[in-house]
Amino acid sequence: MDLNSLTQNDSEWLRGTGPESDVVISTRIRLARNLAEFPFASKADDSTKARIEKQLRDVLSDLPLPKPLSYINVASLDEIERQFLLERQLISREHSEGTGARGVAVSRSEDVAVMVNEEDHLRLQVLRSGLAFDSCWDEIDRLDTAIGDRVAYAYDEAFGYLTACPTNCGTGIRASVMVHLPALVLTREIQKVFHGLQKINVAVRGLYGEGSQAMGDFYQISNQYTLGMTETQIIDKVREVIPVVLGFERKARTALMDSKQPELHDSIARAAGTLRSAQTISSEETMHLLSSVRLGVNLGLITDVGLPALNQLFVQIQPAHLQKAKGATLNSSERNVARATLLRTKLEQERSAHS
């Protein structure tokens, strides 16, 4: 797959559609799997990693799937290219910064990705726009079966699928939902909600998963453990808490509109104005302002830009995306200028399309 083609691609999971898409950006299910005949990646030397990578690359390139996968040799990519894949949620930070033979197989619509030699030999991933656990599970279950028919997974009758991290043993599943919670942040209710989730062993992470910070008021909500539960039970556990989180966020939005509508509208309008006119702007400020505008769109206070375009901008303004689009390495100041130019261009196009 040519990475340059991805710069022109609208990722399926950023479509801004699907159930509950005013709050839910995407649903993701991941499965961790290891090959029975090899040690875990962390215990494998370079030659063993190369053997694992070759075997899995051959398998993934020949799977009879409705959506064929294209294989990318991550080990051969430079830092910007690896960061580019990370920004598109196609690989993890650990995979980007890892060593030795490793790769990722990706569908054209980017809703399916399979990492090779990350923490585990295989990390299967299916993404969907909006709240879509059922379709995510159906697809990843088919993918898991197709791969499992061709390789022997490391499996124990007592512990289930064996994984490098003990918390993933059992089903090896991580079910997560990426949510946009600006109103809970503005009303300072966010920590109260997260504390409640942690009490029931539901994890809350930043935009790029474990160890990452929240950016643009985006959070990933997922199961904490996998052992002793079936896939359906784990998915249902996360599924049950999402409506509660959505309810809190929507209640906070209503409270802001009822008690502080003029101030809120002014803040959102200023955010939109800054994005449309800035000549240089950092990624941190952009994420904050885009979050405000996205809230404004969902509240009907901004009508000349759509959610799909905003969702795409959250990714397109990231450092590696700007540099891939320019075809050049840019320093921080140059990226800030390129980011401002992109925002002015895209938002003007949206305004024309909605006029």
CA distances from 29 to 139, 329, 339 (A): 10, 34, 31
273 within domain boundaries: yes
φ, ψ for residue 206 (rounded to 5)?
Answer: -80, -170
pLDDT tens-digit profile, the chain (355 residues): 667 777 667 787 888 888 999 999 999 999 999 999 999 999 999 999 999 999 999 999 989 888 899 999 999 999 999 999 999 999 999 999 999 999 999 999 999 999 999 999 999 999 999 999 999 999 999 999 999 999 999 999 989 999 998 888 899 999 999 999 999 999 999 999 999 998 888 889 876 555 445 678 999 999 987 778 899 999 999 999 999 999 999 999 999 999 999 999 999 999 999 999 999 999 999 999 999 999 999 999 999 999 999 999 999 999 999 999 999 999 999 999 999 999 999 999 999 998 7
The answer to whether 304 touches 288, Cβ cutoff 8 Å, is no
263 within domain boundaries: yes
Q: Tell me the whole-structure pTM to 2 decimals.
A: 0.91
Q: Which domain holds residue 320?
A: 253-354
pLDDT at 8: 66
318 within domain boundaries: yes
312 within domain boundaries: yes
278 within domain boundaries: yes
Helix (H) or strand (E) holding 258: helix 231-277
Identify the bridge partners of residue 156 per DSSP, sorted by sequence position. Answer: 160
Q: Which of 178, 179, 143, 148 is nearest to 161 (CA)?
A: 148
Count: domains in the chain: 1
pLDDT at 207: 62
126 within domain boundaries: no
Structure tokens at 226: 């996998």
204 within domain boundaries: no
Give the separation between CA 138 and CA 195, rounded to whole angstroms.
31
The answer to whether 184 touches 193, Cβ cutoff 8 Å, is yes
198 within domain boundaries: no
- Give the torsion sign (CA, 334, 339, 342, 347): negative
Structure tokens at 336: 């800030």
The answer to whether 112 touches 139, Cβ cutoff 8 Å, is yes
